Amino acid sequence: MNEREIRKVEIQAFIYSANPPTEEQKQQIQDFLESEFCSTVNVVWKKDAENGNGFRIEVGTSVYKWSLNGIYDWSIEGKRRQLKEKIHQAIAEKGNVMPLIKETLANWKPSPTFDSFGTVLTVGDGIATVTGLKSVAYGEILIFGSGVRGMVQELKQDSIGCILFGDDQDITEGSAVKSTGKVAGIPVGEEYIGRVIDALGTPIDGKGSIHAEGYYPIESPAPGIIDRQPVNKPMETGLLAIDSMFPIGRGQRELIIGDRQTGKTAIALDTILNQQGKDVICIYVAIGQKASSVAQLAQTLRRHHAMEYSIIVNASASDPAPLQYIAPYAGCALGEYFMHKGKDVLIVYDDLSKHAIAYRALSLLLERSPGREAYPGDVFYLHSRLLERSAHLSDALGGGSMTALPIVETQAGDVSAYIPTNIISITDGQIFLESDLFFAGQRPAVNVGLSVSRVGGAAQTKAMKSAAGAIRLNLAQYREMEVFTQFSSDLDNTTKRQLQFGQTLMQLLKQDQYHPYRQHEQVILLLTALSHTFQDVPPEEIPGIVRELLTSIQDTLPDICTEIDRSGTLSEENKQQILQNAKQYLENRKMQKSK
């Protein structure tokens, strides 16, 4: 409807006050409303003793399904509400309370405010359909009469679809809905470190309230190319199988993918534990998991002193689908706060399969067209706009980084399913966990053939790159030879030695949970194994030898170990010293065993 058509409509406005306005006041109000709505306004006074010496204006009309309704509140209560909001805004922006209150009171002048109201048409299953709100935007927060908040998720010609962040039992057909003009966001601040919160930023660990230092929108544009720098600093997991063959860099997005119960969360958890003392903020986002599982994970982090630098964002299976939908975005916004302060952040999304299922449920309830596997057409965009926000920012923006480890569950190892292929194409590599390896006792059960890191050696230190050598090629050759030799019982000595060497490497890559290796330990093990020092050691004895060997070299070459951890470099001289000590240790062990 254009301005000329609106002019033809006469809007009825009601003034509620204890005393009638003068003709001059009435004319001023009429001029203000006509300029506001570009339409003729008929002003009618109604007595309302509760307004004291203030007044409230209600405006409403309905023409050709176009509606405009709202309240201009100039009452004492309205002025008090304005002042309260102004003070809260000042405190949120600057923090120091008393000077800000004095400054706000001195400079504050009340102004007419317009509150836009709508009406609930239908409600159910965490979805409300609302009419009468024509100026709301996608992603805007709405407040219902019961106090429940919702977010605009669907914009139609004559109504909007809203997802609810609370119980919808108190919302009924005809309930009032108020627009806020604010997009969905989450409070952020340093005090969130060490806490367990829900998807709205509310603490749920029973440790009291959290003082927020700011407010970040849960949806924000990803950094552009100019705002990024290359991913070249390692984000070490402490897992030998990953750091040696599929290194992860700070700012990278590395997918952890595999069937149910194959150790996906264990890899993410060990990576968090390995960040101790490295000035990395870790955020774990639990989506659709049992509350008991999340509580157990939080207890594990506390037991290993990892909650001191970690945050858990929990949208459990018992939470409504809208909270599961916004949880990863809320965790990402929290990570962006620290990243923009120049810090390094590690964020785990566990898992995006359940996130996609929650979004599918919302989309179907909002009557969006289903596509492949009943997912809506924008499910790819759902995850791309989340994962693209992980980056290594340029030095001009502080040089902070956010590394994402999304987790996806497959069915019977099918990586060609809809959601896995989507996220594989978004991320910078994947760590594929194979069920057969897991049940055979190989932990972590990393499939060398299907796993990849598209950052590669750029995210490794010189020491690790030098020590890792051709371990991936050796393992690939072993896997092929192992399959081939199943059909033959008569093997030559060369083939037997190659098989034994491969078995030794596989044993070496086995690692207990909650025991990540430090960099110098990984370098020592790789150098020793790839130099065939373990060639004549029975594979079943490797785990025990590994612990003793590391202790021996740490005792005899402490300076070299410290240098590797500090600088990430390994000189040829130090390399030879490590190999010499390893061989000496094995010879001494062999002599003791023969006695």
**In angstroms, rounded to a whole number, what is the distance separating the alpha carbons of residues 510 and 561?**
22
- Contacts for 382 with CB less than 8 Å, ≥ 6 apart: 355, 356, 359
Beta bridge partners of 68: 61
Half-sphere exposure of 315 (CA within 13 A, CB side): 27
Structure tokens, 265: 């969360």
**In angstroms, rounded to a whole number, what is the distance separating the alpha carbons of residues 281 and 275?**
8
Beta bridge partners of 40: 10
Structure tokens, 241: 């199988």
- Please give the torsion angle defined by the CA atoms of residues 43, 44, 47 and 53, in that order, rounded to the nearest 10 degrees: 10
146-152 own/partner pairs: CB under 8 Å, 24+ apart: 146/170, 146/171, 146/175, 150/177, 150/322, 151/184, 151/322, 151/326
The three-state secondary structure class of 389 is: coil
Question: Which residue type, as a one-letter code, is found at position 229?
Answer: Q
Omega prior to 187 cis, within 30 of 0:
no
The three-state secondary structure class of 499 is: helix
CA angle 170–175–180, rounded 5-degree value: 100
Task: Give backbone dihedrals phi and psi of 215, rounded to 5 degrees, phi first.
Answer: -140, 120
- Please give the torsion angle defined by the CA atoms of residues 442, 443, 445 and 449, in that order, rounded to the nearest 10 degrees: -70
Structure tokens, 211: 């003082």
Question: Which residue type, as a one-letter code, is found at position 96?
Answer: N
The three-state secondary structure class of 535 is: coil
Residues recognised as catalytic:
454
DSSP 142-188: EEETTS-EEEEEEE-SS-EEEEESS--TT--TT-EEEEEEEE-EEEE
CA angle 410–411–417, rounded 5-degree value: 65
First to last CA, the chain: 99
Structure tokens, 363: 């989309």
Give alpha helix (H) positions in 308-417.
Answer: 321-339, 352-365, 379-387
**In angstroms, rounded to a whole number, what is the distance separating the alpha carbons of residues 366 and 416?**
28
Burial of 494 from C-beta contacts in 10 A (0-12 / 13-18 / 19+):
exposed
**In angstroms, rounded to a whole number, what is the distance separating the alpha carbons of residues 441 and 438?**
5
Question: CA of 36: how far to CAs of 30, 58, 179, 298, in Å?
Answer: 10, 13, 18, 53
